[in-house]
Amino acid sequence: MSNQDESICSDVTPVINNKTNLHYYNESYDSLDSCINYRVTRDAYLLQKQLKRQSLSSTNKKHKKQHLVPISFCRLHSPTGTDSFVDAKGLLDSGGSGCLIAKHLTQNLPVITPASAAQFLTAAGTYTSQGLVHLKFSMPELHHDRLIEWQFHVAENLGAYDLIIGRDLMQELPINLHFDSLEIEWDNARIPMRPIDATSQTSYHIQDPPAVADATERIKAILDAKYEKANISKLVNEQTHLSTAHQDKLHELLSEFEDLFDGTLGKWRGRDYTIELKEDATPYHARPYPIPKAYEQTLRMEVDRLCELGVLKKTNRSEWAAPTFIIPKKDGTVRFINDFRELNKRIKRKPFPIPNIQDLLLKLEGFKYATSLDLNMGYYHIRLSPDSRKLCTIVLPWGKYEMQRLPMGLCNSPDIFQEKMSELFYDLEFVRCYIDDLLIITKGSLEHHLTKLRTVFKRLRAAGLKVNATKSFFARPELEYLGY
């Protein structure tokens, strides 16, 4: 760039707030669980776009003979402050002195025309600036909760890219390019470099944040579990830690309550749950997220299965609609999660104390027998009232469906389920409840333990709940609980 061009560019002052020009979304949460619900849903949205997920090493192996470049798939935010955004493919160019944006993305942005045009030499070619725009965007592959504001020069066309991020912004953030490992790094987050023809549909990269890994695994376990009628005899024979006489007694008890283990979805008896809206709440209706053709039929089958179970119902009577997205699984099936973030902003939350896991574990010392029970499909036991079903409507490319049961992703769900479980077993000191995980511990004989277990089974039956036998453990001297 010429000296004259540099002087022109130096008159443009980047927008910088505080130490840097980064905005963190200031979300506030009443508890860890509501934070987890929000973040798991948000991360699921990012995960669904990665249709062919690969680890960093496998990605580099696949493309080792190709020329890899530092590409990041960015999200351009609306200048009006709405939730709308546009996806853009960005090249990170440490040799370019400024940032550029393709003209077709600036139609709704006010463009400042400089006195004379500046030229930029970049890794993608030489471009002439036609003006300046103030851009708000994020780089969700690296940090999805950070909003960047910066001045970009407008170019007629950037070839294979929508944005070119120059060294001025890279130094400010800062972003580092590691050509030895073919990685892009920003504040301890890394993504792989990719071939120039990479698209967000084939090469989007996302890694689960450690802070929500445990919660993500909980939701995955619920969505992926196979719910089948238990074979009581086989189940008892697998309890090899028990003597034959003790196995016979356990078999007698489980057979008495065989209906608890029939693999069906239970219905919590009592009032349906009603979601309360804030006074100023207005309906939110999202557009459906696109479903890759390769997974559409599989998703349709999963939706039909949930309709048969009574979790979903096809409808078109609601002003509300939340988008749904998929996460492909290794076995060829899909996991789909609903994005209720907008609904969560509009409902009243009534927090209920979720037990502290560390406190629970500290109180387990000294037991002789322990049984852990996993409830079938957790939150889905609780039915929603008719008006609440309208609020929890989801939208897919081929239609709308109402959630008939309490959904995962709703900020109230952990509080609601924990409160109901705590009320159900409040007077039984030998029972520990953590949302949908039950633990029964006793210090006496096996007969004493089975007596207590019978009391728990009676209450589960009376409440209309079901137990996943394959995920439960019976009369163990030691077992894993809540991952410990």
Neighbours of 102 (CB within 10 A): 20
User: Tens of pLDDT along 430-465?
Assistant: 988 888 888 998 998 999 999 999 999 999 999 999
Q: Could you tell me the pLDDT band of residue 207, with boundaries at 50, 70 and 90? A: low
Q: Could you tell me how far CA 26 lies from the centroid of its own chain?
A: 18
- pLDDT of 300: 87
> Are 150 and 173 a contacting pair, CB within 8 Å?
no
- pLDDT of 453: 95
Q: Could you tell me the pLDDT band of residue 26, with boundaries at 50, 70 and 90? A: very low
Bridge partners of 192, per DSSP, are 183
- Mean pLDDT within 354-360: 70
> Coil, helix or strand for 104?
helix
- pLDDT of 338: 85
Q: Could you tell me the pLDDT band of residue 8, with boundaries at 50, 70 and 90? A: very low
Alpha-carbon gap, residue 206 to 144, rounded angstroms:
10
- Mean pLDDT within 101-116: 86
Question: Which pTM was predicted?
Answer: 0.53
User: Tens of pLDDT along 304-327?
Assistant: 888 988 899 998 888 999 998 777
- pLDDT of 301: 85
Alpha-carbon gap, residue 34 to 41, rounded angstroms:
11
Tell me which H or E stretch contains 450: helix 446-463
Cβ neighbours of residue 212 closer than 8 Å, sequence gap 6 or more: 36, 39, 40, 43
- Mean pLDDT within 193-203: 84
Neighbours of 259 (CB within 10 A): 12
% of the chain residues with pLDDT over 70: 75
Average of per-residue pLDDT values in the chain = 79
> Coil, helix or strand for 401?
strand
